[in-house]
């Protein structure tokens, strides 16, 4: 047994809020091998009649990804959407200045929409507010969503797509606060163009929802002022403000690394506060929610990316190979987002295939699961319903940058319709197991049906096409007795405890 002990109380009526399934979204950008060699490889043995890899499609379906952001990312700030429609043989090759590669435009809007339908995902479409603006944005909405009888809707029909796509979620540009961005703007400049683009996009289709760009990350010098200024301009026209954040363990300090989700939690709370400040300032009844549309671990590939030949086509770029500790942090980040399900409605793990991704492919070879695939898959599949607000007491530790870090990072999701209760839990302790006692007396007649555990003796263990060193097992020891669940969470482990009504 273990000396460390944590307690949790779950009540059906202690709710954070209904979980929007889009919180399990992801992202495909025209970057590296995300598109070409990732989702699309016409000469691959597994390619379908459209050139899409069926092995990748099956893995995306396994993740049950509800929403995919497209086509960028930094890429979108220099992208002409018209380059990616119409006959493929007539499409231009362009220099992509964002990633210093050559874009062939073999895959564009219609191809990607076809792929999204195959994997069962909706699309979160981004418009270019870098080199383009209001006109291109409204025309793309017309092309995608207008039924017919206008120039761009008829153009879509002439491209073989008679019925509109009815894309509901749209991003107003990408990271426009960043000096690295094509068409970088001040908060006031971006706020004005985002306001006007939002206005006319909703004139074309009043049913769409719009995401305004927040800060590229919380350490930007303009953070907070940027959000406040942008929302000051756009508040009446948009529905979400975006957050972006990536983490890495450059200092090889595991205890500190696994505490980074506390920083993520504070970031989310801060943006909610800023949005509500603008609401109060405007005396508005409208509530702005959050879209965390870029989040992940990203640091492993930084040195390799410096060696890429400029203007190559679909190079091996941003191909982080994730290890076991990365999977634990991703699990902590997913739990953190579920804790804010009342306001955080959209999130996009960046990205989905090959580029800082849970799914990797070999050129002309197999597709395989990275370590981070598993916590992402578990929450997406079992984390649908209502996010509960558990009362948790846990022993704590201090690290280099954080104090009072709980060894237990945990939350729970209740699906009343399916009569299921799922507990997600990470034990951050580097050396010892953690005894969890969870009081669920409010959930009468529920029983443990499965205790999934992701653990590994090697914190740096990685998966590859040849060998899956990091995989979950179902030998967890959670048990129910007299309304109490007890389980030993192994040291450094991701746990999914699933209960169903008897």
- Of 382, 402, 430, the last residue of a domain is 382
Tokens representing residue 126 in the block: 């981004």
Measured torsion, CA atoms of residues 79, 100, 24, 127, in degrees rounded to the nearest 10: -10
Average pLDDT over residues 110-137: 98
Of 138, 154, 262, which Cα lies nearest the Cα of 201? 138
40, 142: one domain: yes
**For the chain, how many structural domains are there in total?**
2
Q: What is the pTM assigned to this prediction?
A: 0.97
Of the pLDDT bands very low, low, confident and very high (cuts 50, 70, 90), residue 429 is very high
Question: Percentage of the chain with pLDDT > 70?
Answer: 99
pLDDT over threshold 90, residue 190? yes
The answer on pLDDT for 1 being more than 80 is no
Q: Which pLDDT score is estimated for 444?
A: 85
User: What would the pLDDT profile of 28-37 be if each residue is shown by its tens digit?
Assistant: 999 999 999 9
Kindly state the tokens that stand for 370. 């990275």
Token code pair at residue 349: 């793990």
- Find where tokens 């749209």 sit: 170
E-strand spans in 1-84?
A: 5-9, 15-18, 25-27, 67-70
Query: Quick one: 373 and 446 in the same domain?
Result: no
Residue 148: pLDDT band (50, 70, 90) is very high
When mean pLDDT is compared across 46-50, 144-148, 205-209, 302-306, the lowest value belongs to 302-306
What's the farthest any 2 CA atoms get from each other in the chain?
A: 71
Q: How far apart (Å, rounded) are the C-alpha atoms in residues 141 and 150?
A: 12
Helix-then-strand count for the chain, H and E: 11, 25
Q: How far apart are CA 245 and CA 437, in angstroms?
A: 33
Are residues 350 and 462 both part of a single domain? no
The residues assigned a catalytic role are 175, 294
What local confidence, expressed as pLDDT, does residue 109 receive? 98
Domain containing 284 equals 20-382
- Compute the C-alpha angle 287/140/109, nearest 5°: 105
Cis peptide before 351 (omega within 30 of 0): yes
DSSP per-residue string spanning 414-470: EETTTTEEEEEEEE--SS--EEEEEE-TTSTTEEEEEEEEE--S-TT-BB-SS-B--
448 and 338: one domain?
A: no
pLDDT category, 3, cuts 50, 70, 90?
A: low
Q: Where among 353, 382, 411 does a domain terminate?
A: 382
Task: Quick: pLDDT tens for 270-282.
Answer: 999 999 999 999 9
**Measured distance CA(216)–CA(222) in Å, rounded:** 10
Picking from 467, 463, 416, the residue whose alpha carbon sits closest to that of residue 442 is 416
pLDDT given at position 7: 97
What are the two backbone dihedrals, phi and then psi, of residue 32, each rounded to the nearest 5 degrees?
55, -135
Same-domain pairing of 355 and 376 = yes
- Predicted local distance difference test score (pLDDT) of residue 2: 66
């Amino acid at each position: 047994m273990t000396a460390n002990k944590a307690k949790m109380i779950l009540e059906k009526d202690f709710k954070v809020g209904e979980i929007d399934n889009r919180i399990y979204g992801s992202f495909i950008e025209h970057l590296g091998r995300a598109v070409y060699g990732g989702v699309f490889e016409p000469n691959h043995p597994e390619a379908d009649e459209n050139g899409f890899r069926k092995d990748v499609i099956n893995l995306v379906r396994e993740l049950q990804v509800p929403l995919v952001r497209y086509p960028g990312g930094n890429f979108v700030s220099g992208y002409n959407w018209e380059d990616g429609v119409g006959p493929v043989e007539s499409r231009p090759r362009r220099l992509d200045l964002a990633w210093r590669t050559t874009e062939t435009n073999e895959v564009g809007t219609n191809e990607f929409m076809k792929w999204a339908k195959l994997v069962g995902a909706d699309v979160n479409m981004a418009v270019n507010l870098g080199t383009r603006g209001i006109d291109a944005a409204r025309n793309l909405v017309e092309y995608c969503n207008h039924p017919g009888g206008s120039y761009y809707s008829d153009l879509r029909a002439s491209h073989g797509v008679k019925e509109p796509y009815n894309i509901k979620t749209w991003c107003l540009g990408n990271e426009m606060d960043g000096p690295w961005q094509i068409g970088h703007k001040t908060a006031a400049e971006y706020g004005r163009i985002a306001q006007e683009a939002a206005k006319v996009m909703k004139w074309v289709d009043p049913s769409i929802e719009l995401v305004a760009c927040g800060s590229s990350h919380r350490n930007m010098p303009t953070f907070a002022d940027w959000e406040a200024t942008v929302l000051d301009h756009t508040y009446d026209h948009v529905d979400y403000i975006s957050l972006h954040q990536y983490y890495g363990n450059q200092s090889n300090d595991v205890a500190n690394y696994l505490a980074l989700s506390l920083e993520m939690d504070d970031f989310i709370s801060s943006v909610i506060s800023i949005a509500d400040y603008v609401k109060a300032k405007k005396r508005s009844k409208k509530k702005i929610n959050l879209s965390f549309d870029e989040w992940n671990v990203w640091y492993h590939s930084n040195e390799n990316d410096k060696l890429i030949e400029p203007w190559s086509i679909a190079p091996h770029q941003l191909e982080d190979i994730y290890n076991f500790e990365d999977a634990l942090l991703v699990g902590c980040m997913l739990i953190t987002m579920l804790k804010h399900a009342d306001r955080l409605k959209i999130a996009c793990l960046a990205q989905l295939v090959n580029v800082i991704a849970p799914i990797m492919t070999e050129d002309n070879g197999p597709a395989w699961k990275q370590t981070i695939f598993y916590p992402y898959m578990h929450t997406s599949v079992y984390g649908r319903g209502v996010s509960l607000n558990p009362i948790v007491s846990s022993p704590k530790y201090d690290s280099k940058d954080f104090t009072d870090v709980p060894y237990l990072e945990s939350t729970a999701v209740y699906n009343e319709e399916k009569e299921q209760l799922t507990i997600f839990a990470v034990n951050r302790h580097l050396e010892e197991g953690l005894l969890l006692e969870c009081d669920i007396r409010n959930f009468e007649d529920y029983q443990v049906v499965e205790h999934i555990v992701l653990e590994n003796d090697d914190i740096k263990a990685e998966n590859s096409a040849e060998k899956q060193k990091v995989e979950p097992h179902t030998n967890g020891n959670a048990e129910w007795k007299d309304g109490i669940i007890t389980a030993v969470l192994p040291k450094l482990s991701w746990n999914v405890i699933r209960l169903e009504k008897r």
